[in-house]
Amino acid sequence: MKLYFCTLFDSNYFFRGLTLYYSLYSHCKQFHLYIFAFDDFCYSKLIELNLPSTTVIPLSEFETKDLLKVKQKRTSAEYCWTSTPLTIWYCLKSFGLSHCTYIDADTFFFQSPMVLLKEMKKHSVLITKHNYSPQYDQSKKSGTYCVQFITFKNNTDGLRVLEWWKKSCLRWCFNKFEKNRFGDQKYLDDWTERFKGVYVLKHIGGGVAPWNVQQYDSYIQNTVLWIKERITCIKQHVIFYHFHGLRIYRLKNHLFIFSPLLYTITYKQWVNFYGMYRAQLQNAYDIIQKADPDFTNGIYPFHIFLYDAVYKYIVSFPYLFIKKIFRPYETYG
């Protein structure tokens, strides 16, 4: 079975998007990734790379009249959110795909996502929960579900849901909580009741993220990354991790990263997840450096790394110290 994916990013997320692609390339035997390039610079770089199993789509080809009408009224992030359902719609309609899975550019695959697609069986739509750890639960504002990995089949039920979501995002999609809406994401909250054929992923390894990783122990066995849920002791492979809120820094040609300040990450989790991701970001950076040594979009200079380190470990120290008293097993990566 061939898997079809789409994603979107601009030049500021270029290294993350490229790292996402290579993670798919490493773990999927048969896949195709449709990349929507959200600026000309990003588009030209992707065309130069000529990545196997990809189709690069420029904004000039993708943007509809409806999108252009709302573009000036929304921030760049809000415009990307607005565009998400339209990218899926474009792929299903333009390329006649049997299905298409949208994936955020800052996700990374540790195993093939085939197991996630198989889990939905005959259902037409697959959605994933945030699975917030209790101390970080933002579901009332940000939604129960996360638009990080979302699949639509090209059938009547799938297109009905996608059409509704597409129209809703064009009408309202902003970075604020208003009338039980938030961006493109809060719309998903009632899909299991509103529509037929919507399935909620159960595999705990699909959608590990900084806001839920506190619930798991992680370990590597026979080169495979596993997580074990602390309450239920359920064990499953990690399929993908969502590297939300990550900042990338550079000293000469070496990259550094920080996990988001808002979330606690154990040292072992830091090594297993963030250590691997940093290495793959470095590989993507090295590839681009050979073709264009001046390309550093989306990467902060090293002095910003030092500033963030001071803030993270000194300014916020009393806060972290209090948290450590109550959760001594957690440390910052």
Per-residue pLDDT of the chain (333 residues; tens, 9 = 90+): 899 999 999 999 999 999 999 999 999 999 999 999 999 999 999 999 999 999 999 999 999 999 999 999 999 999 999 999 999 999 999 999 999 999 999 999 999 999 999 999 999 999 999 999 999 999 999 999 999 999 999 999 999 999 999 999 999 999 999 999 999 999 999 999 999 999 999 999 999 999 999 999 999 999 999 999 999 999 999 999 999 988 899 988 899 887 776 788 888 998 999 999 999 999 999 999 888 888 899 999 888 877 777 766 555 444 444 443 333 333 222
Bridge partners of residue 240, in order along the sequence: 109, 206
What's the pLDDT at 134? 95
CA distance 263 to 240: 18
Quick one: tokens of 220? 């590597």
In this predicted model, what pLDDT tens digit does every residue of 81-117 receive, in sequence order? 999 999 999 999 999 999 999 999 999 999 999 999 9
Buried-exposed string 184-203: b where 16+ CB fall within 10 A, e elsewhere? bbbbbbebbeebebbbbbeb
What's the pLDDT at 307? 75
Where do the DSSP E strands lie in 180-239? 181-182, 198-200, 206-208, 216-221, 224-229, 235-237
CA distance 132 to 269: 17
In this predicted model, what pLDDT tens digit does every residue of 296-332 receive, in sequence order? 999 998 888 777 777 665 554 444 444 433 333 332 2
Tokens 């993670």 belong to which residue? 23
The answer to whether 273 and 208 have CB atoms below 8 angstroms apart is yes
Q: By C-alpha distance, which of 65, 102, 115, 106 is closest to 260? A: 106
Within a 13 Å sphere around the CA of 163, how many CA atoms are in the beta-carbon half? Answer: 9
The answer to whether 159 and 92 have CB atoms below 8 angstroms apart is yes
Q: By C-alpha distance, which of 98, 91, 89, 95 is closest to 153? A: 98
Computed on alpha carbons and rounded to an integer, the radius of gyration of the chain in Å comes to: 20
The answer to whether 148 and 103 have CB atoms below 8 angstroms apart is yes
47: left (phi over 0), alpha (psi -120 to 50) or beta: alpha
What's the pLDDT at 304? 83
For the chain, the residue count is 333
Three-state secondary-structure class, residue 178: strand
What's the pLDDT at 328? 33
Within a 13 Å sphere around the CA of 115, how many CA atoms are in the beta-carbon half? Answer: 16
* pTM for this prediction: 0.92
Q: Give the contacts of 8 (CB within 8 A, at least 6 positions apart).
A: 35, 36, 37, 38, 80, 83, 84, 87, 105
Q: By C-alpha distance, which of 321, 140, 132, 118 is closest to 239? A: 118
Domains along the sequence of the chain with CATH: 3-206 (3.90.550.10), 213-326 (no CATH)
Tokens 């990003």 belong to which residue? 42
CA distance 8 to 147: 13
Within a 13 Å sphere around the CA of 331, how many CA atoms are in the beta-carbon half? Answer: 6
